């Protein structure tokens, strides 16, 4: 008992010393304000994760680092944000993996259709050695990957007809992210795949120049896509990560203790956002149904998987050894 008490006391003193040291570190640090931008609205999972990050950073840096959040593409679309981070005109953002893969091609391996069978399987890969290795590759293009947040499993919506199999997609004009894997996937499914930025897609749906799009339930709900899209198919064709990412010009100016806080806070905020997405999905689907959207929960997934086999043939070796390593990790 005495030994336990001594150990507990020693642990308490140690933690207090660490806390005091951290406080002293940040007390001597010049205040920094980081602008964190994203392209979605304040009801979206990106914003929920960003707010959690903002809170954790303020608390753990004793207020030395302030995070200001800019939602709704107020600082530009995702490609513009990433280019701004590279040159230091934007500090950081939560960015969908698809546009990030235009800067580090190997990251598009996560976009391969039907790669991950569940969110938990995706988290195991993303938070493990493979995911972290790919995050580190961002430094080659003057970006710093902090953690994987979540866009989620993507589903198809359209304004024209119910979709149960690839044949139903024939000729539909479907907006996809500006990423070749997405474009090729939907072309193999028979759609007219149209790559465009999300901000442009919203206008295109309203004007009827495209028939549909594909995104997770949280996006479909938060942007009220039921107002232009009558049908949803829970295809869950791709699990899309998102990334807490910074520009290296800003990252390199921060002291190591601040960098450590940002990385830790990003991971915790990402996990918070994932949990919130999971908690909210059932209610979001119910709200979309109530608003009049017809939702197919049991499409012919096997037919979709068979149709996209050529995507694996085309890209299987393009990502080096990442695809077989991911498949091996998923089978363990």
Superfamily of domain 30-330: Bacterial extracellular solute-binding protein, family 7 (3.40.190.170)
Region of poorest pLDDT, from 23-37, 146-160, 181-195: 23-37
Is the pLDDT score of 200 beyond 70?
yes
What's the predicted TM-score (pTM) here? 0.84
Q: How confident is the model at residue 136 (pLDDT cuts 50, 70, 90)?
A: very high
Task: Name which of 185, 219, 218, 190 is nearest 202 in CA terms.
Answer: 219
Domain spans in the chain, listed from the N-terminal domain onward? 30-330
pLDDT on residue 25: 80
- 330 token code pair: 């998923």
Tokens 């938990």 locate to 120
Q: How confident is the model at residue 179 (pLDDT cuts 50, 70, 90)?
A: confident
Q: How confident is the model at residue 113 (pLDDT cuts 50, 70, 90)?
A: very high
DSSP state of 142: T
Task: Name which of 302, 309, 308, 244 is nearest 273 in CA terms.
Answer: 244
DSSP assignment of 39-71 equals: SS-TTSHHHHHHHHHHHHHHHHTTTSEEEEEE-
- Quote the CA–CA distance of 186 and 256 in Å, as a whole number: 44
- Quote the CA–CA distance of 81 and 91 in Å, as a whole number: 9
Is the pLDDT score of 47 beyond 60?
yes
pLDDT on residue 9: 39
């Amino acid at each position: 008992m005495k030994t336990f008490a001594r150990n507990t006391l020693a642990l308490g003193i140690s933690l207090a010393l660490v806390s005091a040291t951290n406080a002293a570190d940040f007390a001597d640090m010049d205040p920094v304000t980081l602008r964190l931008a994203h392209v979605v609205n304040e009801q979206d999972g990106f914003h929920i994760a960003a707010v959690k990050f903002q809170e954790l950073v303020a608390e753990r840096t004793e207020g030395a680092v302030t995070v200001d959040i800019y939602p709704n593409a107020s600082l530009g679309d995702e490609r513009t944000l990433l280019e701004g981070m590279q040159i230091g005109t934007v500090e950081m953002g939560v960015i969908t993996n698809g546009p990030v893969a235009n800067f580090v091609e190997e990251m598009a391996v996560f976009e391969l259709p039907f790669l991950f069978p569940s969110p938990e399987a995706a988290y195991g890969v993303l938070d493990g050695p493979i995911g972290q290795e790919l995050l580190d590759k961002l430094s080659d293009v003057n970006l710093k990957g902090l953690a994987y947040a979540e866009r989620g499993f993507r589903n198809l919506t359209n304004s024209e007809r119910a979709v149960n199999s690839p044949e139903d997609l024939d000729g539909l004009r479907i907006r996809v992210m500006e990423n070749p894997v997405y474009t090729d996937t939907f072309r193999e499914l028979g759609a007219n795949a149209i790559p465009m930025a999300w901000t442009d897609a919203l206008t295109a749906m309203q004007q009827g120049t495209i028939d549909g799009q594909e995104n997770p339930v949280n996006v479909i709900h938060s942007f009220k896509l039921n107002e232009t899209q009558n049908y949803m198919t829970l295809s869950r064709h791709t699990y899309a990560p998102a990334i807490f990412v910074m520009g290296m010009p800003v990252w390199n100016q921060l002291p190591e203790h601040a960098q450590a806080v940002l990385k830790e806070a990003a991971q915790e905020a990402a996990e918070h956002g994932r949990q919130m997405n999971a908690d909210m999905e059932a209610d979001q689907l119910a709200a979309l149904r109530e608003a009049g959207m017809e939702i197919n929960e049991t499409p012919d997934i096997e037919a979709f998987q068979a149709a996209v086999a050529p995507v694996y043939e085309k890209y299987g070796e393009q990502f080096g050894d990442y695809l077989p390593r991911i498949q091996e990790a998923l089978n363990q």
